[in-house]
C-alpha cells in the first residue's frame, strides 16, 4: 500500500554500501539505494523498513505539515543560538614578546626584550570597555601573547578593570590566560588563583617530543621547566584550573599514542588532536614540520581508536574535537567552536584585540596581519566605535561569505548541518573568502573526520557509543553504563 507524505529538506551522499541522509534538524539516517530512490519518487509503501525512522526524524511528514515545520524550525534555531550570544569570547594580545622560540609559532613572536610590542594599560582598559559593549550575557576574556605574563601590568589592569565594570553590568565573567608557564612565578600564580583565572598551556608529548619544537630563546628545551611549573600551578590554582593544548607536527604525528599516554600520565582529562595551521613560523617552516591532510586524518583515526580502547579499559579520557563534532551530530545544541559555525564564528562568537588596539575577527586574522595583510582589520578601539567595528564592512563581508547553506559545494554537502566555514583561511589559501570546496584543506580534513565518526555511528558498536555519550555528557563511562547501580 502506497503512502501519501511530504518530503522535508535534506542532503545525502554515498556512504560505503548505503546512503547517508542528513536534514536541517541535524538528524541522520542510513538507507539503501532502492529505498532512497523510492522515497524520493514518492513510492514509499507502508511496509518500508525505513518509514518509521524517517517519520520520527522529520525526513517525511504524513500529517499536519505546519507542526513538523515548527519542530524543525525550533531545532534549527537551537543550532543557530550562538548568533544571539554575539560576542562572548574576547581575546587580548597583551604582548607579542615571548621567552620561547617555538619553531611553529603561528604569531611569529618577538624576543622577550622587544617591549614596543607590549599592550599599554590604556589599550588594555579600552579593549575591556569595548568587550563589555557586547550584548552577550557572558564575557570571557582570554589573555594571550606571545607570553602574556611578560606584560603583567596590562594583565592585572585588564582583569581589575573588567571586574570593576562588571559590578554594574553583572554579566557572567570569566578569565583565561594562554601561557607556556615557563615564566610564571609563585606570586603570579597566587594572583591568578585569587581572581579565578583559568590557565591554558601547551604540551606536545613526552620530553623527547615536546623539546623538539618548544624551546627557550637560548635553545634549551622547556619540558623540565614546564613540569615543575605545571605542578605548582595545579597546587595553587587547582587541578581543574589548568588545561593543555598540543600541536601536531611531523615530529610527533607518528607517536600520537605516546602523546596521549603523556597527557594521561600528567593527569589531564582529554586532548585536542590539533593539526598545524598555515600562519607565522608554522607556514615558514612547513617543509620541515608539515604533513599531508590525509596523513593527519589517518593518524587521527588511529589515535581515536586508541583513546576509545583506553576508555573501555577504565581510563576516562576524551578527544575534544571528536566531542565537539559528536555534540553537533547527536544533540540539537550549538557549540562555541568558531570553525564549525555558519555563518563563521569569526567576529560573532569571538574577537581579538591586538597589542596596539587593532581589532580582528579571529586570531588567524591577526596572524595574517602579522604576515603583512591587514584585510580583516575591523577597526581600532581608540578610533572606532563599537557599532563601527562590529557593524562594519569587514564583519558583514565575513558573514555574507561564510553561510554554508548557500555556499557552492557546501549547500549540497551531506555534512552541511554539522560543519562551518573558515573565510580567513580560504582567503589565505585562495585569495577570496569563499575559497574552493571540497578541495580545500579545511574541507578535506573535516570531511575525512566526519567520515570516521559516521563510520562508527553506522557500525552501532554499543561500547563505542557508550564512550561517545560519556564524552558528550561529561560523565564517567561507568555512569553512562549504569554499572554498579
**Would the pLDDT of 482 be above 90?**
no
pLDDT at 2: 66
Picking from 126-135, 360-369, 459-468, which range would have the lowest pLDDT averaged per residue?
360-369
Residue bearing cell 560576542:
87
Query: What mean pLDDT do residues 79-102 have?
Result: 91
Q: Identify which of 325, 333, 341 has the alpha carbon closest to the alpha carbon of residue 402.
A: 341
Percentage of the chain with pLDDT > 90? 80
Query: What mean pLDDT do residues 110-125 have?
Result: 93
Tens digit of pLDDT for each residue in 303-348? 999 999 999 999 999 999 999 999 999 998 877 778 889 999 999 9
Query: What mean pLDDT do residues 222-245 have?
Result: 97
**Rounded CA separation 260/46 (Å):** 50
Q: Which domains does the chain have, with CATH numbers?
A: 6-79 (no CATH), 86-389 (3.20.20.70)
pTM of the predicted model, to two decimals? 0.94
pLDDT at 39: 94
Judge residue 187's burial from the number of C-beta atoms within 10 Å of its C-beta, 0-12 exposed, 13-18 middle, 19 or more buried. exposed
- Grid coordinates in use for 172? 557572567
pLDDT at 284: 74
3-state secondary structure the chain: CECCCEECCEEEEEECCEEEEEECCCCEEEECHHHHHHHHHCCCECCCCCHHHHHHCCCEECCCHHHHHHHHHHHHHHHCHHHHHCCCEEEEECECECCECCCCCCCCCECCCCHHHECCHHHHHHHHHHHCCCCCCEEEEEEECCCHHHCHHHHHHHHHHHHHHHHHHCCEEEEEEECCCCCCCHHHHHHHHHCCEEEEEECCCCHHHHHHHCEECCCCECHHHHHHHHHHHHHHHCHHHEEEECCCCCCCHHHHHHHHHHHHHCCCCEECCCCCCCCHHHHHCHHHHCCCHHHHHHHHHHHHHHHHHHHHCCCCCEEHHHHHHHHHHHCCCCCCCHHHCCCCCECCCEEEECCCCEEECCHHHHHHHHCCCCCCCCEECCCCCHHHHHCCHHHHHHHHCCCCCCCCCCCCCCCHHHCCCCHHHHHHHHCCCCCCCCCCHHHHHHHHHHHHHHHHHHHCCHHHHHHHHHHHHCCCHHHHCCCCC
Tens digit of pLDDT for each residue in 271-295? 999 998 877 766 777 788 889 999 9
Query: What mean pLDDT do residues 461-480 have?
Result: 96
**Would the pLDDT of 64 be above 70?**
yes
pLDDT at 214: 94
- 461 confidence band (pLDDT: 50, 70, 90): very high
What's the whole-number average pLDDT of the chain? 93
- Grid coordinates in use for 408? 557552492
- 63 confidence band (pLDDT: 50, 70, 90): confident
**Would the pLDDT of 3 be above 80?**
no
Tens digit of pLDDT for each residue in 423-446? 999 998 899 999 988 888 899 999
Query: What mean pLDDT do residues 357-385 have?
Result: 95
Judge residue 196's burial from the number of C-beta atoms within 10 Å of its C-beta, 0-12 exposed, 13-18 middle, 19 or more buried. middle
286 and 260 Cβ atoms separated by less than 8 Å: no
Q: Identify which of 355, 359, 399, 362 has the alpha carbon closest to the alpha carbon of residue 379.
A: 359
Picking from 11-15, 40-44, 176-180, which range would have the lowest pLDDT averaged per residue?
40-44
- 387 confidence band (pLDDT: 50, 70, 90): very high
pLDDT at 72: 87
Amino acid at each position: 500500500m502506497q503512502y501519501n507524505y511530504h518530503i522535508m529538506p535534506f542532503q545525502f551522499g554515498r556512504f560505503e554500501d548505503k546512503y547517508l541522509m542528513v536534514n536541517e534538524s541535524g538528524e541522520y539516517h542510513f538507507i539503501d539505494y532502492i529505498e532512497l530512490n523510492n522515497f524520493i519518487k514518492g513510492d514509499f509503501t507502508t511496509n518500508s523498513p525505513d518509514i518509521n525512522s524517517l517519520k520520527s526524524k522529520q525526513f517525511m511528514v504524513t500529517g499536519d505539515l505546519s507542526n513538523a515545520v515548527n519542530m524543525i524550525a525550533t531545532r534549527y534555531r537551537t543550532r543557530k543560538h550562538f548568533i544571539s550570544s554575539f560576542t562572548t569570547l574576547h581575546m587580548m594580545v597583551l604582548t607579542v614578546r615571548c621567552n620561547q622560540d617555538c619553531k611553529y609559532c603561528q604569531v611569529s613572536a618577538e624576543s622577550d626584550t622587544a617591549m614596543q610590542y607590549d599592550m599599554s594599560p590604556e589599550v588594555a582598559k579600552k579593549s575591556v570597555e569595548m568587550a563589555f559593549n557586547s550584548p552577550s550575557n557572558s564575557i570571557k576574556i582570554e589573555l594571550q601573547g606571545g607570553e602574556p605574563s611578560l606584560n603583567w601590568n596590562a594583565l592585572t589592569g585588564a582583569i581589575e578593570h573588567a571586574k570593576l565594570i562588571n559590578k554594574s553590568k553583572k554579566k557572567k565573567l570569566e578569565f583565561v590566560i594562554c601561557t607556556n608557564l615557563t615564566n610564571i612565578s609563585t606570586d603570579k600564580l597566587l594572583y591568578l588563583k585569587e581572581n579565578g583565572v583559568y590557565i591554558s598551556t601547551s604540551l606536545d608529548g613526552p620530553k623527547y617530543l615536546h623539546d623538539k619544537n618548544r624551546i627557550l630563546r637560548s635553545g634549551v628545551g622547556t619540558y623540565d621547566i614546564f613540569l615543575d611549573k605545571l605542578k605548582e600551578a595545579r597546587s595553587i590554582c587547582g587541578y581543574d584550573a589548568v588545561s593543555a593544548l598540543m600541536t601536531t607536527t611531523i615530529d610527533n604525528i607518528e607517536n600520537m599514542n605516546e602523546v596521549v599516554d603523556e597527557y594521561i600520565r600528567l593527569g589531564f582529562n582529554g586532548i585536542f588532536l590539533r593539526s598545524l595551521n598555515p600562519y607565522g613560523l608554522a607556514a615558514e617552516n612547513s617543509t620541515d614540520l608539515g604533513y599531508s591532510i590525509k596523513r593527519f586524518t589517518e593518524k587521527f583515526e588511529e589515535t581515536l581508536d586508541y583513546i576509545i580502547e583506553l576508555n573501555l579499559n577504565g581510563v576516562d579520557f576524551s578527544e575534544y574535537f571528536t566531542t565537539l563534532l559528536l555534540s553537533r551530530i547527536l544533540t540539537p545544541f550549538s557549540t562555541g567552536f568558531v570553525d564549525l559555525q555558519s555563518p563563521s564564528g569569526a567576529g560573532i562568537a569571538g574577537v581579538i584585540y591586538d597589542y596596539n588596539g587593532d581589532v580582528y575577527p579571529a586570531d588567524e586574522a591577526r596572524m595574517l596581519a602579522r604576515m603583512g595583510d591587514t584585510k580583516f582589520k575591523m577597526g581600532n578601539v581608540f578610533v572606532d566605535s563599537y557599532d563601527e567595528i562590529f557593524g562594519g564592512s569587514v564583519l558583514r563581508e565575513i558573514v555574507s561569505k561564510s553561510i554554508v547553506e548557500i555556499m557552492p559545494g557546501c549547500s549540497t554537502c551531506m555534512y552541511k548541518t554539522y560543519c562551518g566555514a573558515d573565510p580567513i583561511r580560504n582567503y589565505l589559501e585562495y585569495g577570496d573568502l569563499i575559497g574552493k570546496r571540497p578541495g580545500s584543506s579545511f574541507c578535506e580534513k573535516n570531511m575525512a573526520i566526519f567520515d570516521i565518526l559516521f563510520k562508527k555511528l553506522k557500525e552501532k558498536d554499543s561500547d563505542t557509543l557508550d564512550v561517545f555519550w560519556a564524552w558528550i555528557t561529561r560523565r564517567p563511562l561507568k555512569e553512562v553504563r549504569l554499572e554498579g547501580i
